[in-house]
Amino acid sequence: MNAWVGVELENLSIRFGDFVAVRDANVNIRGGDFFSFLGPSGCGKTTILRAVSGFLAPSSGNILIGGKNMKGVGPNKRPTALIFQNLALFPLMKVWENITFSMEIRGARAAERRKRADELLEMVALTGQGDKLPAELSGGQKQRVAIARALCAEPHVLLLDEPLSALDLKLRQHMRTELREIQKQVGITFIYITHDQGEALTMSDSIAVMRAGVIDQIGNGRAIYNDPATPFAASFVGENNVFRGKVVQIIGHEALIRTNRSGEIRARISTANLGKLQQGDSAMVFIRPEALDMAGADLEGDHYVSARVTNEEFEGDVFNIFMEGDGGKEIKVSLPNRGQSFESHKGRTVTLRYDVKNAVAMPAGILATE
């Protein structure tokens, strides 16, 4: 549809008084990509979005859209359209008037607007709802109207600020696929803000993980999930068991770490941290609950972990086993439910096995829940 227009952030910093909302962000978003900023609330992701759409001026650094510096360009002059968290549909206008507001601004005739509105309504599966008021629509329908309204402005970049957060789970999952399909259909760059890692992982071509104004890692979903760059990224995206300890030995791309409670663990050093771990450094090892498996009793070695089972729960698709872990945190193991008989291990000490490639080591740092 459009020539693909990318967005670049160059050393972008945004300060509010003494508070640094965004620190030195460098991101290159390719045109036509579905790009997500993922982070907990207050990490500065919405600030970045508002800066890209032009509501905030950067304190330093540049924002380039399609290679053009946007400094001094107002929000009404940028080739972006923002979908607000609360959607911000105009309550006094009918759905079709809402959708074609950008055309009204340009002085388009009512008949022309009506025609375009009907096309867009068909695209977002709301045919025949054009004459309603926003208040008469359900949450998911309002969502779609907001998308149609933004698309009507024919932006080169669509910015979405947690648009699904107000919807219930089922609808949210449905809208995920729908959003992704719309993005493929219109072929423009989507920049998506979310604190929901599931949303980010399922929809994005590329994800930036943010913490306290700093971008920790940029990569596709698999890289972020399997090869986290920081303890924060490892613990924020998906569930992770953390083992703290000291590096005993570095063996090529792997490290042997003596943990505080679970003995010696062998782990792969994450790609971003290769060469950064030295013998004697404090380190953290992350192993996903689904990467751990029950092993026979009393096996010893550097890819086994032993711990006492404190609790168990049945979640349907998985059995979750909780064990005494490091620093008051539990170790969680998820065993897939394949219809096997499941005996309780409560109170016993069990040994867990993992693949070294599924254990990721990196220098100790701040976790998401801390």
Binding site for another protein (CB under 8 A): 53-55, 74-77, 80-82, 84, 86, 88, 90-92, 101-102, 104-106, 136, 149-150, 153
**In the bound complex, what is the minimum distance in angstroms from residue 98's beta carbon to another protein?**
9
In the block, residue with structure tokens 């509010």: 16
Instruction: Give burial (CB, 10 Å; 0-12/13-18/19+) of 336.
Output: exposed
**In the bound complex, what is the minimum distance in angstroms from residue 107's beta carbon to another protein?**
11
3-state SS, residue 337: coil
**In the bound complex, what is the minimum distance in angstroms from residue 32's beta carbon to another protein?**
21
**In the bound complex, what is the minimum distance in angstroms from residue 149's beta carbon to another protein?**
7
Q: What is the residue type of 81?
A: A
**In the bound complex, what is the minimum distance in angstroms from residue 56's beta carbon to another protein?**
11
Compare residues 76 and 344 and give the one whose CB is closer to another protein. 76
What's phi and psi for 260, nearest 5 deg? -65, -35
Nearest in space to 9 (alpha carbons), one of 55, 39, 49: 49
**In the bound complex, what is the minimum distance in angstroms from residue 97's beta carbon to another protein?**
10
Greatest alpha-carbon pair distance for the chain in Å reads: 79
Compare residues 101 and 319 and give the one whose CB is closer to another protein. 101
Compare residues 90 and 314 and give the one whose CB is closer to another protein. 90
3-state SS, residue 290: helix
Compare residues 1 and 88 and give the one whose CB is closer to another protein. 88
Nearest in space to 350 (alpha carbons), one of 313, 308, 321, 322: 308
**In the bound complex, what is the minimum distance in angstroms from residue 308's beta carbon to another protein?**
52
Compare residues 157 and 201 and give the one whose CB is closer to another protein. 157
**In the bound complex, what is the minimum distance in angstroms from residue 22's beta carbon to another protein?**
19
**In the bound complex, what is the minimum distance in angstroms from residue 62's beta carbon to another protein?**
20
Nearest in space to 342 (alpha carbons), one of 365, 314, 317, 363: 314
- Strand-by-strand arrangement of the 189-194 sheet: 80-83, 157-161, 189-194, 34-38, 206-211, 214-219
For the chain, how big is the Rg over CA atoms in Å?
Answer: 24
Compare residues 53 and 217 and give the one whose CB is closer to another protein. 53
- Strand-by-strand arrangement of the 349-353 sheet: 293-295, 349-353, 304-314, 318-324, 330-336
Nearest in space to 233 (alpha carbons), one of 278, 272, 203: 272
Compare residues 133 and 368 and give the one whose CB is closer to another protein. 133
Nearest in space to 82 (alpha carbons), one of 138, 21, 139, 162: 162
Compare residues 132 and 329 and give the one whose CB is closer to another protein. 132
Take residue 313 and report the two structure tokens written for it: 């729960």
Compare residues 93 and 212 and give the one whose CB is closer to another protein. 93
